[in-house]
Structure 1
Amino acid sequence: MESVLKYDFLIVGSGLYGCVFAYKAKQSGKRVLVIDKRPHNGGNLFCEKIENINIHKYGAHIFHTSNKMVWDFVNNFVSFNRYTNCPLASYHGKLFNLPFNMNTFYSLWGTRTPDEAMAVIDRQRKDSGIIEPLNLEEQALSLVGKDIYEILIKEYTEKQWGHPCNELPAFIIKRLPVRFTFDNNYFNDTYQGIPIGGYNKLIDDLLKDIEVRTNTDFFNDRDYWSTVSDKIVFTGRIDEFYNCQFGKLEYRTVSFETEILNCSNYQGNAVINYTSMNEPYTRIIEHKHFEPESPFFAQNKTVISKEYSSDWTENADPFYPVNDYTNNAIYNKYKELACHEKDVFFGGRLADYKYYDMDDVIEKVLNDTEKIF
């Protein structure tokens, strides 16, 4: 099969990195084609409409940033509501505020002042006797003490990563956010919100007047797709791009059980983490709480998603890179190959083998395209 069309850029993957790159390329007068193996645009940002509620199909996405350039950029395409992320943690039926703050400490110990809470944490840290943490468990105990670790970190982390905490590297939690204020806002960023009308509006506007082909897997006909453009922007798994010649990188994947419930309000909050092994899921998302301004918010229907974490397999979507020493060493070999590519650019969570927040992705694309164009 011969190539019929010619493009300046073939963008493999229509996630946030690919969409912003496509937009900036088109702005620069480039001919762009975006392909994605999924049946829709937007990558993990895609929202599915159920009962007139925007469902975060691949997990909760809350936009937050302190970068005004990034905030102004996304607001060119869509207005954001004032959603503030205030998740809760459920442990054996008792609820705690996240991140760890004075409300959390009051629920744990009945402490009413910052000094009282600091004293408890300092005492438990000293009781641990840990000076040089050798694993995640020791790191957590040395940072926040026994109670917070055992109730809010240990079992949740083991569900999330599939390994005991004393087998996980300490650097996974270099720090733990502890606030000595009664502030339940999870993020410290200046700007925060959810696109009014859902993330699909942001993605559709970024890709406006750009050719996109979904249900199209680059690797099903790599030879052909490598001929349709002068340059390739690759946002998929970097190990797959190089035929896994140094070995496969590890990921964690996430699956969801979504239910429609005949009530107007199931849990009173968008996100509740379940930190005990008593529940196999890591959290429950009630999607309507992301958009309380919706005219359908008060309807007698709601949609929840239970989220399960597991090891990644070939038939699943890779979500989180496992950035331990072994995998990072393998990734660095692939990165060395990528650095010598002249006509292939890599970007995004899978290609960079790095966890990114959405604002980090956008900032990186804006910086990358400024250099390229």
Structure 2
Amino acid sequence: MKDLNNKYDYLIVGSGLFGSVFAQQMSENGKSCLVIEKRSHIGGNVYCESIEGINVHKYGPHIFHTNDKAIWDYVNSFVSLNHFIYSPLANFKDRLFNLPFNMNTFYQLWKISDPEQASIKIADQVANSGISNPENLEEQAICMVGSEIYETFIKGYTEKQWGRKATELPKSIIKRLPVRYTYNNNYFNDRYQGIPIGGYNKLIEGLLRGVEVKTNVDFIKKRKELSSVADYIIYTGKIDEFFDFKYGHLEYRSLRFKHEYLNRENFQGVAAINFTERNVPFTRIVEHKHFEFGKQKGTVITKEYPQEWIPGVEAYYPINDRYNSERFKKYWELAKLEDKVVFGGRLAEYKYYDMHQVIASALSKAKTLLQLS
């Protein structure tokens, strides 16, 4: 039963995908919601900034992909998605290779056009490595694609992305590595793929239509005041910060983006090129107009520079090694004791989510709470 002293049923901290989907579901079912956002804009990391008519993915590129038709239909009920297929390239010593690893890559690297020959070559390299029970990312990758592909495309890129040696990273990070013995440059295997026409802002605006939203509001700084305005809090921020870092900081990797407008129609001819050498300071260059097949006279490119997370900068990738996983478990035990707070999303669950996964999680949590109300 609603506490009549509270103005809202739900205070939702964060207007990213989890918070926005949850707010939409609750609002649709007659619940009153207030969404607060620390940034000056809504949308979290899927926010797009319009520069000369180009939707720039401000916090890194986001490609929506899923095999779940229900999730696909849900997103399309708020915005139309185009037919964009993510087919990035890799740059190694100024040579370009197709990604993900497929027959085009193998031909470019070895001049092998026979799938069986490519498979044998990789199997021989795996056998020669002598690794039977991989214990870290490096060993796992070599067991999947052999030593040459690992050294050319994975080692340098991964070590600068994570700021750690590949031998110090958990093998789980690399287990989703796609390898194909077909000439197929589609990075994802999912049946449904695309980019919202007009950018992700249209999706977030659709989800939050009719919902009260306040930007430039920091929940942590105003916790005492805000905690009393609603019956329940949906918290999507950093879980360790919610508990005042009782067990210390959880670790993340962060990113620095260098956006540049160029007075030319086409810079690199593809949405993304990964730079796999360790001595190249950025991991990739993104050219945003290609996500929506833009015909603008100019273009915007973004270089992504990985960096260690420190307080005050955005946290992007949780470092799910043994040390941080054990620390997170302590925070999650505290979260279970909060009967009026729901923790959801990448930062609150210290977990990497694809977009379709975070949407599914928010839909599931909303359904559960509606059944209990």
Q: What TM-score bracket applies, with the shorter chain setting the length?
A: over 0.9
Q: CA deviation at 1:144?
A: 1.1
TM-score (norm 2): 0.96
* Preserved CA contact (<8 Å) 1:65 1:71: yes
Query: For residues 323-372 of structure 1, what are the alpha-carbon distances to aligned partners after superposition, in whole Å with 9 as ceiling and x for unaligned?
Result: 01110111111111112221100100000110000000111111111110
For the pair 1:145 / 2:146, whether they are aligned, the reply is: yes
TM-score (norm 1): 0.96
Letter in 1 for 2:339: K
Rounded Cα–Cα distance in structure 2 between residues aligned with 1:359 and 1:171: 20
Rounded Cα–Cα distance in structure 2 between residues aligned with 1:175 and 1:282: 19
Rounded Cα–Cα distance in structure 2 between residues aligned with 1:220 and 1:79: 37
* Preserved CA contact (<8 Å) 1:101 1:181: yes
Q: Which residue of 1 aligns with 2:184?
A: 183
Q: Which residue of 1 aligns with 2:193?
A: 192
Rounded Cα–Cα distance in structure 1 between residues aligned with 2:81 and 2:170: 37
Letter in 2 for 1:164: K
Q: Which residue of 2 aligns with 1:283?
A: 284
- Cα 1:220/1:285, change in 2 over 3 Å: same
Following TM superposition, where does structure 1 have runs of at least 4 consecutive aligned residues deviating by more than 6 angstroms?
none
Letter in 2 for 1:357: D
| 3-state SS in 2 of match to 1:154 | helix
| 3-state SS in 1 of match to 2:78 | coil
* Preserved CA contact (<8 Å) 2:54 2:296: no
Letter in 2 for 1:365: A
* Preserved CA contact (<8 Å) 1:270 1:288: yes
Identity level (%): 56
Q: Which residue of 1 aligns with 2:162?
A: 161
Q: Which residue of 2 aligns with 1:324?
A: 321
Q: CA deviation at 1:73?
A: 0.3
* Preserved CA contact (<8 Å) 1:159 1:277: yes
Aligned pairs for 1:271-350 within 5 A: 271-292=272-293, 297-350=294-347
* Preserved CA contact (<8 Å) 2:53 2:296: no
Q: Which residue of 2 aligns with 1:28?
A: 29
* Preserved CA contact (<8 Å) 1:155 1:275: yes
Q: CA deviation at 1:213?
A: 0.6
| 3-state SS in 2 of match to 1:8 | strand
Q: CA deviation at 1:132?
A: 1.5
For the pair 1:113 / 2:114, whether they are aligned, the reply is: yes
Aligned pairs for 1:82-97 within 5 A: 82-97=83-98
Rounded Cα–Cα distance in structure 2 between residues aligned with 1:174 and 1:101: 17
Rounded Cα–Cα distance in structure 2 between residues aligned with 1:175 and 1:241: 31
Rounded Cα–Cα distance in structure 2 between residues aligned with 1:282 and 1:177: 19
* Preserved CA contact (<8 Å) 2:6 2:228: no
Q: CA deviation at 1:277?
A: 2.1
Rounded Cα–Cα distance in structure 2 between residues aligned with 1:267 and 1:149: 25
Aligned pairs for 1:62-141 within 5 A: 62-141=63-142
| 3-state SS in 1 of match to 2:138 | helix
Rounded Cα–Cα distance in structure 2 between residues aligned with 1:56 and 1:303: 10
Query: For residues 186-214 of structure 1, what are the alpha-carbon distances to aligned partners after superposition, in whole Å with 9 as ceiling and x for unaligned?
Result: 00001000000100000001111111110
Rounded Cα–Cα distance in structure 2 between residues aligned with 1:330 and 1:352: 12
Q: Which residue of 2 aligns with 1:357?
A: 354
| 3-state SS in 1 of match to 2:177 | coil
Q: Which moved more, 1:167-176 or 1:243-252?
A: 167-176
Rounded Cα–Cα distance in structure 2 between residues aligned with 1:195 and 1:363: 18
- Kindly report the root-mean-square deviation, in angstroms, between the aligned alpha carbons of the 2 structures: 1.2
Q: Which residue of 1 aligns with 2:230?
A: 229
| 3-state SS in 1 of match to 2:253 | strand
Rounded Cα–Cα distance in structure 2 between residues aligned with 1:319 and 1:81: 26
Q: CA deviation at 1:168?
A: 1.7
| 3-state SS in 2 of match to 1:182 | coil
* Preserved CA contact (<8 Å) 2:263 2:299: yes
Rounded Cα–Cα distance in structure 1 between residues aligned with 2:43 and 2:273: 25
Aligned length: 367
Q: Which residues of structure 1 form unaligned runs of 5+?
A: none
* Preserved CA contact (<8 Å) 1:143 1:175: no
Q: CA deviation at 1:300?
A: 2.3
Q: CA deviation at 1:10?
A: 0.3
Letter in 2 for 1:359: H
Rounded Cα–Cα distance in structure 2 between residues aligned with 1:169 and 1:367: 29
Q: CA deviation at 1:175?
A: 4.7
Letter in 2 for 1:43: G
For the pair 1:13 / 2:14, whether they are aligned, the reply is: yes
Letter in 2 for 1:147: E
Query: For residues 264-307 of structure 1, what are the alpha-carbon distances to aligned partners after superposition, in whole Å with 9 as ceiling and x for unaligned?
Result: 00000001100012320000000000001xxxx22320000000
| 3-state SS in 1 of match to 2:221 | helix
Query: For residues 47-85 of structure 1, what are the alpha-carbon distances to aligned partners after superposition, in whole Å with 9 as ceiling and x for unaligned?
Result: 000011000000000000000110010000010100000
Q: Which residues of structure 2 form unaligned runs of 5+?
A: none
